[in-house]
Amino acid sequence: MAPPVHLADTHWEKLHPPLLEAGSFAIDPAPYGPPWRQFDEVGAHEAAKLGRFAPFGALSGGPTDTILLAPGDVHGTRLIVERAAGYCRGIDGRDGPNLACLGCDLPVGTRMDDCGCWQVVRLVPQAVVRLPGPPEQPILAWAELLATGALGHRLSAFRDIPAGVALAHVVVAAGGAPVEVAPGPVAELLGRSLGALLPAGKGAKRLDLAGPEFGEPAADLVLVPIHPQTGDMWQPRAGAVPVPMDAALWAELASPPHRTRLPVVGGLPAGVERDDPLPPHPLNPFQPSKQAFRYTLSRLPAVREPWLRAIYDRGY
């Protein structure tokens, strides 16, 4: 699988599910693990080589291309107890590899399952040898992904994180111009935040949703899904600028859950109509994750442009 867009962003002090589904793996190209250094300590030039273009937390000096797995898929290892530190409910991997091979007793990976962490095991690339095995799942076409439900609705409790990632990419694609958001699910997801981040006025770029089996509306910017296996964006045929979005969140916007007024089985007598209460409204308007928004911007070279750096420093 492609590394999920929400890989590095979580909810603080909340238990998270496994990052990946059982039987799948992903490779994270970003460095991970100690030594940890601050942006000012590394310097802007060296930080750019590590894929960070603005200060945001600590930078890792660990290995790149760690292999990500669901914890339940890892066998033949033991926990290195002296490296099993965490915040309060588990292990957060702060001290480096905490899993050792039962055969040779060498450190081979890091398990993370603390609150504020996606449950995942990161195998050290130097410790992994790929052996022949069953054929990999073929790369599915967009039509097959939709037909099999592989895009899924799996992030509803954490949808603010991929929304924050998408928000950052929309702001960059807008180039500082106003954005007019198409009414409906896209406006509900990003409209308020874009209004707070970008100026209003003439020359607005219209933002809408586009993708497989959905069509291509007349818009300047279109939110399109990222293929969950390859990480490639769906490409529109028209001249609109594609803006990447997590496939599960895109599917949630493209096909919102339908709430039927009819009973699941049977029927109602003639002349009788259901009058169920509407779903409760949230206490506060939806807001994309500020942390995911700023972290995504910090990894995009465009953040070095003065207008975008001002947004980054100001936040929303």
Torsion angle in degrees (nearest 10) through CA of 75, 77, 78, 80: -130
Give the C-alpha separation, 179 to 197, whole Å: 10
* Span 250-279, average pLDDT: 71
Give the C-alpha separation, 4 to 131, whole Å: 25
Q: What's the pLDDT score for residue 104?
A: 94
Long-range contacts of 301-307 (CB under 8 A, 24+ apart): 301/48, 301/53, 302/172, 303/53, 303/54, 304/53, 304/54, 307/176
Q: What is the rounded average pLDDT for all residues in the chain?
A: 89
Give the C-alpha separation, 108 to 77, whole Å: 8
- Which two three-digit tokens encode residue 126? 């130097």
Q: What's the pLDDT score for residue 237?
A: 82
Please check whether residue 166 is in contact with residue 246, taking contact to mean a CB–CB distance below 8 angstroms. Answer: yes
Q: What's the pLDDT score for residue 279?
A: 67
- Could you tell me which of 165, 173, 161 has the C-alpha nearest to residue 305? 173
Query: Is the pLDDT at 282 greater than 90, yes or no?
Result: no
- Could you tell me which of 141, 158, 122, 105 has the C-alpha nearest to residue 230? 141
**What three-state secondary structure class fits 225?**
strand
- Which two three-digit tokens encode residue 78? 């033991």
- Sign of the alpha-carbon torsion through 17, 299, 150, 134: negative
| Strand bridging mode 77-79 / 99-101 | antiparallel
* Span 196-201, average pLDDT: 92
More confident residue, 260 or 85: 85
Give the C-alpha separation, 121 to 76, whole Å: 13
Q: Which amino acid is at 58?
A: A
* Span 43-59, average pLDDT: 93
Q: Residues of the chain with pLDDT > 70: what percent? A: 94
What is the separation of C-alpha 220 from the centre of its chain, rounded to a whole number of angstroms? 24
- Which two three-digit tokens encode residue 193? 């935040």
- pLDDT class for 265, splitting at 50, 70, 90? low
- pLDDT class for 150, splitting at 50, 70, 90? confident
* Span 70-78, average pLDDT: 95
List the strands of the sheet with 221-225, edge to edge.
179-181, 205-209, 221-225, 241-245
- Which two three-digit tokens encode residue 303? 């953040």
Please check whether residue 246 is in contact with residue 172, taking contact to mean a CB–CB distance below 8 angstroms. Answer: no
Residue 115 φ/ψ region, left for φ over 0, alpha for ψ in the -120 to 50 degree band, beta for the rest: beta
